[in-house]
Amino acid sequence: MQVVRAAFFGVSCWRNYQKRGQDVGAPIMRKLIFFAFLFSISVAVTASAQQSVDSMLDRDIASLVSTYKMLHAAPELSHHEEKTAAFVASQLRALGFTVTERVGKYAEPEWTSYGVVAVMKNGAGPTVLVRTELDALPVEEKTGLPYASTVKTKNDAGQEVGVMHACGHDIHITSFLGTAKMLVALKDQWHGTLVMIGQPAEETVNGARAMLADGLYTRFPKPDFALALHDSGDVEAGKITYYPGYAMAGATSVDLIIRGLGGHGARPESTKDPVIIAAQMVLALQTIVSREKSALDPAVITVGSIHGGTKRNIIPDEVTLQITIRTYKEEVRQQILASIERIAKGLALAAGVPEDRAPILKVIENENSPASYNDPELSERIAAAIGRTVGKDNVIKAQPLMVSEDFGYFSLDHQIPVFMFWLGAVEPAKVEASRKSGKPLPSLHSSLFVPLPEPTLRTGIRSMTAAVMELMKK
């Protein structure tokens, strides 16, 4: 209907343009009417693009849902995305993209990077990158779904683990492939170079870096813009949320090794007990967040694991704390690292630990990721375009989050405007019930996380197609 209306409006503008031209000849009026005519054409094009996306989706949705279920049942861990990557590559190749596989170089030479880069050149115009992740998590699925994963495999440390797409990267891959198909079908309505990438190892936050290190921006066209979506375990399917600016925190992984002098558990006076220092340390660390930095700079310090000792009656030589730090600003991150080191050394000194057994702070560089900064102008432009497709009321500005992603690497430290938005994935009735009962929904990474496939995929594909069209339309 929109198309017909816009076309009708366009014809009447054109008639007016001709008539005014003859009758009055007022140049300003002529110009105004001419622009109205051009505008009507662009509305008609947008409306027809939207209409064809909707009818293509109606036709394809059943097969997209089966693709999703197939991917869901066959998850692969970070650094092992071999079959997923091969599937994505073959689909993109069949759509006419020029596809390169195994793009990426990890710092660890024994790992293979299963990055996929698919390029479609369509005349002069902007270069836009769209990214999906490929990896799943070491989580044993407990959803009870008929298409639940029963995959078990060995992780990098050789332990047997269950594997699940508990972060919804299977939703991302399917939306990404659906978007690719829509954009190929709409090829006469956009121009420029489309670069669609399947990124491995997002959960271990080293896949983006591996692809960049292997010439993602030199061997392949460097993007003017980069886009991604991530499903949300809190938001209803059918809705999109986003935040312009710093949207997700940077993550820094550190190990703090607290060394003491071990000995008999019954004779603590002859030891320097690192368990006691570790216990003090866990509490003292929280004063960094509450007392040492501005309350206006968000940060989290979490000690996620403590390991030390072998037996009840032995005081160990050392205890290791595994810590994650979440921050937005680099200076806050540096300040927190310095504070952890200072407090650890101070507590060890107070306990009488000799200087040559001072604590060691190790930053695990290949597990770090930068804060995700959504370029504000790009965010608002894309959010408005998505709103025109899925309805303005379904696009909601949300709060930034302290979780992390490695998508920020693709911005090359804010040089390239990037935007990642959140895709609601939960059955609306469940969101409503959780709001009423106050009982939280299963979060991303939970063994019970269940996205609602069809409406989530529809919204994902419509949104990402609209986002790319906004940047590349003729």
* Site residues, Zn ion (CB under 5 A): 167
User: Considering beta carbons, is residue 167 or 452 the nearer one to Zn ion?
Assistant: 167
**DSSP string over 152-221:** EEE-TTS-EEE-B-TT-HHHHHHHHHHHHHHHHHTGGGB-EEEEEEEE--TTTT-HHHHHHHTTTTTTSP
User: Considering beta carbons, is residue 238 or 451 the nearer one to Zn ion?
Assistant: 451
* Shortest distance, position 255 Cβ to Zn ion, whole Å: 21
3-class secondary-structure state, position 102: strand
Backbone Cα Rg of the chain: 27
Alpha-carbon torsion 397, 398, 402, 403, what sign?
negative
User: Considering beta carbons, is residue 388 or 445 the nearer one to Zn ion?
Assistant: 445
* Shortest distance, position 77 Cβ to Zn ion, whole Å: 12
For residue 57 the two structure tokens come to 């989706």
* Shortest distance, position 167 Cβ to Zn ion, whole Å: 3
* Shortest distance, position 135 Cβ to Zn ion, whole Å: 9
CA distance 194 to 460: 18
User: Considering beta carbons, is residue 167 or 194 the nearer one to Zn ion?
Assistant: 167
User: Considering beta carbons, is residue 167 or 277 the nearer one to Zn ion?
Assistant: 167
User: Considering beta carbons, is residue 6 or 167 the nearer one to Zn ion?
Assistant: 167
Beta bridge partners of 462: none
CA distance 348 to 278: 9
DSSP 369: B
For residue 101 the two structure tokens come to 């596989």
* Shortest distance, position 168 Cβ to Zn ion, whole Å: 7
Residues 6+ apart with CB under 8 A from 24: none
User: Considering beta carbons, is residue 167 or 275 the nearer one to Zn ion?
Assistant: 167
Q: What are phi and psi of 142, to 5 degrees?
A: -130, 25
User: Considering beta carbons, is residue 167 or 196 the nearer one to Zn ion?
Assistant: 167
Q: How big is the chain, counted in residues?
A: 474
C-beta of residue 131 within 8 angstroms of C-beta of residue 227: yes
* Shortest distance, position 231 Cβ to Zn ion, whole Å: 8
> In the complex, which residue's CB is closest to Zn ion?
167
